[in-house]
Structure 1
């Protein structure tokens, strides 16, 4: 039984000491009362002073919670619409001559762009530093012995636009790569002596600014020329395909070790045609840990643990999408705020693939033999690869595109950039540069997803590349349609570097742009745990909620030949948005990805996005 006491429920109990008078009241002397109250106030003041000092020192470890019904959580309704802008972007020339044409690139966690070309040319516009030995080689045609003193790789500082020559010996022409969990760039394959080579740069073995490539020839079992490299949920790499290599192999974890054995992959043989059209297959890690592999016009889901194909997808009609027809592909943003049920109540996050452009099956043969350049494909197709009954959804881009890049922007949009409107990949096999980037908004209704942006003045054709920077700008470089470096030509060898600012960098949106307070934000992440990011917004009316703010996480890809390997953007689950510990600073609490199938371990860029306007990215490490 309970009785109400002072407005609360309290258990009803009998007095265990009936002899004691419950009617008596004991009065505290007035002096004692004063001393008691004074000491209480002193204790409270000292406690709050201590907490304030500790909070200032440990502010990045404290997680603010809503107090007494504070509305910082925000409603669970729909997200607020993105801020609108009429901007079509902006171009800046940031380097007149970087020295090396950017055939293959990867942004590193130290904010340096690692760039390398082929060594087969024996020529570039950048010399090896004084004191670095030249590379001896033999001219195949004349058997003459010569010295190659040119740099075919470089480190480009994205903050100063200065370059540092790097030395690569085995030929990395048309190789593949990816960023390992410790920040090492691992590159596999290439041409001739580079075909079976694994290379490494950066990571724990590079603690100084003069780090260079570490190369181990003959560590792959098969030549990997035009192969694709994909990071797996445990941080290991798989390398798939290559010219006349209908197999895949797993790279060893230990540097310098050799691969155990290759695994025959009949699917690659089945999708080869007279022009191949199955090189640089599109490979995406699905959210269930299996690999979506697209080759030519067909796709399967491969289980890398038991080496079995677990499902086959509908054929994508219209033409070929892989090299040399060279369409574009990426995973659409993976939304971790919602889950679907898969198998028996196992949560699975939706994974959707986008494949656009390319050319007809015979386009390369016509371009190579007759210099007839077919118009590039205009279609853009998407499919939910985790759906029980997947189907391709078709629509048309504003223009055809081959050899373009598809980049995931920090606000969830996709940018199509670079490439040509006629022909295919390979030397001298394309025409009509596609100067206009195109913005694709996947969440908008069909028919309203594309926006044509401001054109570049530089043709970015075969062997051009692009990458998302922490600033939100796009680093654009490369283009060499020749078997050497040419200064004067219709499409000369490009060593100029541009920065493209997408519409979300419109200065009229700066007042809405979050600014991350890095020193107060979490950077070392653990799967499934909660973390906080502190940020400021100039135009902050104090009403920001979860419906205004998103946190996205971007894995920086290895980009070459129109495909950005390992690229993925995750929309993290936001738990709270409210006031930080300092005046004018806001905090967003979010959950890290739950497991490696959704987000492999390694370095990512975190962005705070305010209704479509992203902050600058902050490097974090997930493990």
Structure 2
């Protein structure tokens, strides 16, 4: 019999983090921005030590940021976009410094995409591999040059409703695929946006009496954001979903969890929990990509749900509160249970393929373009053609948005077999620059025959 023990510490906050934004910095610290009321213009930092607490800097932002999105740039700086009543953006100031109104940039795109019931809060924002920033709000999307602070391209409108809060679809950046000794001028990058709701879904569910819960969207759409002639490729999910979460798995496939089938975000504004996770098999050209319905949970995970990809490649799933407080007697009670989901690759019949990373024999601090070695141990001969190494940037997850979630497949330069019994060395090439992989910590997974390793290894990419 095995017993698990753990301990926890309470972390005190004085400035409200409700509906805030955040990201990890180059040193692995959590940098959180915005929130509600007295926390809306606050920057707060949580360091890595066991005894560290929150450091809070009220008034550090030039505007209040409630339901805003934070993105990491290739040089490690942060930008934060939008928030209720503030169609603007700004660069997050260095620790201890404060922005003023002159540091805030008006962003008319967020004015133009504002429905009567918003539908453009928590915009989907991703750093493209060319250094520009992709911003999607409501049903429109643009590329912004963060250096000149100008929109350089607008993509076609995505039809069939709204995708951002409170319509609350979900999105992710699909895997970035690198080759050894990469020399392509532009590395392709695609976004995937799924679900959402009709433009008036929130008005019907929250403002109308009796409430009307409109069906959510059933479609997903892919777009190459590095192409100026890019067009949306529409595909259909097995069922409608809003309030969902999209997890980019270590293998590059996408897991869609949580959510509802009707209604919108907001207090008691959704119905019909979508209990079935869905797997989207990723193919670079979209051909052959398909959805598979997986085994359901018995716990509704709707408004205010979240997830985390764990080092053992399971998914931690938590949350769900459709109520203005902790209610046990509501239609959907406030959920305090936590689950772990085991994807298909953790089938015991596939355990023979799971490799072990020998951390002490592997490089875990690497500069851009540098070649580095990861040592693995497993059973049997390894077929290099079935080997894949990916690095994953852990996101800040809230309200169906996963800020800075990023998976990159690294190029394998060499594969050296049998450096010790059942032990092999993989020589890899780090990403070329911060636009491909912003500086900081990533979880490195070695996948063999589509099965992730037993535990990921933390690797830090540095300029």
Match of 1:592 in 2: 430
Q: TM-score, normalised by structure 1?
A: 0.71
Q: TM-score, normalised by structure 2?
A: 0.95
Cα distance, 1:286 vs. partner? 0.3
Matches within 5 A, 1:198-347: 198-203=43-48, 207=49, 209-253=50-94, 255-260=95-100, 261-337=103-179, 347=185
1:353 aligns with 2:195: no
Match of 2:255 in 1: 415
- Point out the structure with max Rg over C-alpha: 1
Segments ≥4 residues shifted beyond 6 Å: 338-341
Distance (whole Å) between structure 2 residues aligned to residue 176 and residue 321 of structure 1 = 18
Q: 1:316 to 1:552 in 2, by over 3 A?
A: same
Equivalent pair of 1:359/1:375 in contact (CA under 8 Å): yes
Structure 2: runs of 5 or more not aligned? none
Cα distance, 1:418 vs. partner? 0.5
Q: 1:242 to 1:338 in 2, by over 3 A?
A: farther
Match of 1:458 in 2: 299
Structure 1: runs of 5 or more not aligned? 1-158
1:185 aligns with 2:27: no
Equivalent of residue 447 in structure 2, options 593, 604, 609: 609
Match of 2:275 in 1: 435
Distance (whole Å) between structure 2 residues aligned to residue 406 and residue 338 of structure 1 = 28
Report Cα offsets for 1:230-280 as digits up to 9, x if no partner: 011011100000001111010112x22112510011000000011100000
Cα distance, 1:528 vs. partner? 0.2
SS at structure 1 position matched to 2:185: strand
1:509 aligns with 2:347: no
Report Cα offsets for 1:522-553 as digits up to 9, x if no partner: 10111001011111222x2x3522x1211100
SS at structure 2 position matched to 1:163: coil
Cα distance, 1:373 vs. partner? 0.6
Cα distance, 1:562 vs. partner? 0.3
Equivalent pair of 2:83/2:121 in contact (CA under 8 Å): yes
Cα distance, 1:355 vs. partner? 0.5
Cα distance, 1:580 vs. partner? 4.5
1:386 aligns with 2:200: no
Match of 1:536 in 2: 377
608-617 or 553-562, which moves further after superposition?
608-617
Cα distance, 1:211 vs. partner? 1.5
160-169 or 191-200, which moves further after superposition?
160-169
| C-alpha RMSD over aligned residues | 1.6
SS at structure 1 position matched to 2:351: helix
Equivalent of residue 194 in structure 1, options 23, 39, 57: 39
SS at structure 2 position matched to 1:387: coil
Q: 1:326 to 1:162 in 2, by over 3 A?
A: farther
Matches within 5 A, 1:169-184: 169-184=14-29
Number of aligned residues: 453
Cα distance, 1:170 vs. partner? 0.8
